[in-house]
Each structure stands twice: as structure tokens, then as C-alpha cells.
Structure 1
Amino acid sequence: MTGAEVGLGSGYASILLAAGAGRRFGGGKLLAPWRGAPLVAGAVQAALSTPSDPVIVVTGTDPGPVGDACRAAAERMDGAKRLRLVHAPDHAEGMGASLRAGVAALPPGMRGVFVFLGDMPDIPEEIFAPLMAAVEAGAPAAAPTFRGRRGHPVLFSAALLPDLARASGDAGAREVLASLDAGLARVESPDPGVLFDVDRPEDLGDPRRG
């Protein structure tokens, strides 16, 4: 599914969190090579494959190079007009600061917001439509799962945006999701990419191996 196929202007947006220093990786994680492009490019491609407008990328560490990599990825997908870069000056606080910056940059009237992580480059496009269907059916949020494990991205309904705007520390949206309990719709993914993230250099292998 692509944004064009669903129809832009659908009231959905994406926030891509790309502000971390990647300390466990040794620094420079989001710019590390992945399938011929910087790692963060895979996450940008996934966000632009949703009907989101805008796709807000929140930068922190290395904002110039990370922003350049995101713009280049968007241009390759003819999605540069939908991309918006936002810097979180307090990103060292943790993921909550980045999430607050992304929510603050959203235009009014959103029906739902996908939250992507910059170190998850292999999200399958097939998961976006069922996540949207779950939220349209009344779920406050929807998340993909693979073999019983919850993954990313999470799609939040507009009703939860005030809660996301108050996120703090490194928990990000985890506390919001925990408060939903059974209210969180879980959608089985056909692909393990919803779980695949990169923390260390050795993680840059193929998530389908093993």
C-alpha cells in the first residue's frame, strides 16, 4: 500500500523518531549502511508508504546528516513534499522529548498518527491498512505483532494525542500503551520486520535469517 493508493489528505500523519545518539551502537547508528542507503532511509521509506501527510522526522543527534539522509530518501520516493524535519533540542532527555516535539508539529484535525522508530528499517507495507482499519473501527491505538510479540509502528487515534504530548523520559509512548491494556488492537504481521531494530553493529544482518 502506498500513500497514493490510499489517498493523501486522509487525515493521517506519521512521526518518525530519529533523535537518538545510538550509544550502544557506538554512535552514528542512523547513518550506518543498510541495503545501500543509510539505516534511517528504510524507516523514512516505510513512513512515506502510509497515507501520512505530513511525515514528521524528529532529529536530535547529528541533525544535519540525519536530515540530509531523510530528505534524500524522500526524494527517491517522490515524497519530499510530505516530509517535515523538526529538531528536538532537549532530545538528550529521552524518547519522550522527541515524541513531544513531533506531536507539537502536527497540523490540526488529524484522525490518527503513526509513530515510527528511526532504527527500524524493515517495516512491511502490508501492515498499514489493517492498523488503520482497527483505529477506524474504534480502537484507541493499534500495533502489529509477530508470533505473539508486539512491534512497530503503533498507530494512535487522535484521542490519544494529548497523552503523547505529555510523554517524558525514555519511556516514550510505552506508558500510554500500557494504560490501554486490552484497548490496544493487535494486528498480526505477515513479516518479522515489525520487530527488527538495530541496537548494535552486529544487528545489521537480515531479519529473516535464523
Structure 2
Amino acid sequence: MLLAAGAGTRFGMPKVLAADGVWLHRAVAALADGVCDDVVVVLGAAVVDVPAGARAVIAPDWADGMSASLRAGLAAVDDAAWVVVHLVDLPDVPAEAVARVLLAARSAPSGLARATYGGRPGHPVVVARRHVAPLAGTLAGDEGARGYLAGRDDVVGVECGDVATGRDRDRG
């Protein structure tokens, strides 16, 4: 699932439009080439055509924040065994990082893994199906997904700093 619904206020425009759509195409390719069978792009502030092989989901309450976008995305992938959560504003994260984190989650007893960059937590984040409902239940609160993961000591960190910076782009 690619979260791409925000207005990009600090950036100056919705990030899904950044670089004439190049960020969107790179992120979708990272997910698809990182062995994700179903790529869902969550849109909101800007509705665009998504690349072939992906499907769009509109988050009607996208302006409420990332938790609203994540809720819409989780509802759209209700039968997935694993959910990979990625962000459109991470244009340097390649398929190799996605594949690493997915493999780690599949191997972990917890079914939870997230990319780290020089030890700093980032995206993608992978959750097993059994975490989807509890995670969705946290999305009404202030902490949202971040709080769900922070409250656990069984999230596997997967270092990806050798293939990407993992830094989001907040300024245009």
C-alpha cells in the first residue's frame, strides 16, 4: 500500500504530483518489484491515474491526516496476508528494501518488520494480517500506527541504509 493522499503543505503541492509523477511511479515500482502482488495507492488531495499494475483507493477524509489514509488503505487490502506500507515521498527507496523488510516480517514470529536507515526507523513497514484489525483500531487516536509499533518490542528492524537514505522529502 502506498500512502499518497496528503496535500504536501510544507512541500508546496501534493507529493503524488512531485517530479511530474516520477515519485509515484518509483514507489509503485518499488512495491511491485519488491514482490507485492497487489499495489494499492491511497489518494486524496490529488487524484491521479496510477501506474499500470496498481489500483487507486480514495481516502475521503484524507485531510484528517495519515491515519485516515492508512485506514482507507487497510480497508482496501482486507484479504492480504501481509501489508507493506510505503510512502510516496521516499523516492530513493528501491524494491530491494521492500523485499528485505517483507522477508524479515515473514520470518519473524511477530509478523512485524520495518526498514531502518542508520538505525533510524522508517518505511516500508510490513504487518501480518493478524495485526491489521488491531492496527486499524488505533488509527482514531493521536498516536495511530506509530503508537502501535512503538508499544511493541517485537518489531524487527531491517537495516536498509546501504540502498537508500529513507528520508522523506518535506520541502519542494
Normalised by the size of structure 2, how large is the TM-score? 0.88
Greater Cα offset, 187-196 or 145-154: 187-196
Question: For this pair of structures, how many residues does the alignment match?
Answer: 170
Q: Which residue of 2 aligns with 1:126?
A: 96
Shift of 1:190: 4.5
Q: Secondary structure at the match of 2:2?
A: strand
Q: Secondary structure at the match of 1:115?
A: strand
1:187 equivalent among 152, 155, 158: 158
Against the structure 1 CA distance between its residues 151 and 18, is the aligned structure 2 distance closer, same or farther, given a 3 Å change threshold? same
User: For structure 2, which runs of at least 5 residues remain unmatched after alignment?
Assistant: none
1:52 equivalent among 16, 36, 40: 36
| Paired AA for residue 75 in structure 2 | A
Q: What do you get for the CA RMSD once the two structures are aligned?
A: 2.0
User: For structure 1, which runs of at least 5 residues remain unmatched after alignment?
Assistant: 1-14, 202-210
Normalised by the size of structure 1, how large is the TM-score? 0.73
2:131 equivalent among 157, 160, 163: 160
Q: Which residue of 1 aligns with 2:62?
A: 91
Shift of 1:196: 2.1
Against the structure 1 CA distance between its residues 40 and 133, is the aligned structure 2 distance closer, same or farther, given a 3 Å change threshold? closer
Q: Percent identity over the alignment? A: 42
> What CA distance in whole angstroms lies between the structure 1 residues aligned with 2:62 and 2:84?
20
Larger C-alpha radius of gyration, 1 or 2? 1
Against the structure 1 CA distance between its residues 161 and 123, is the aligned structure 2 distance closer, same or farther, given a 3 Å change threshold? same
* Cα contact 1:19–1:58 (8 A) shared by 2: yes
| Paired AA for residue 22 in structure 1 | G
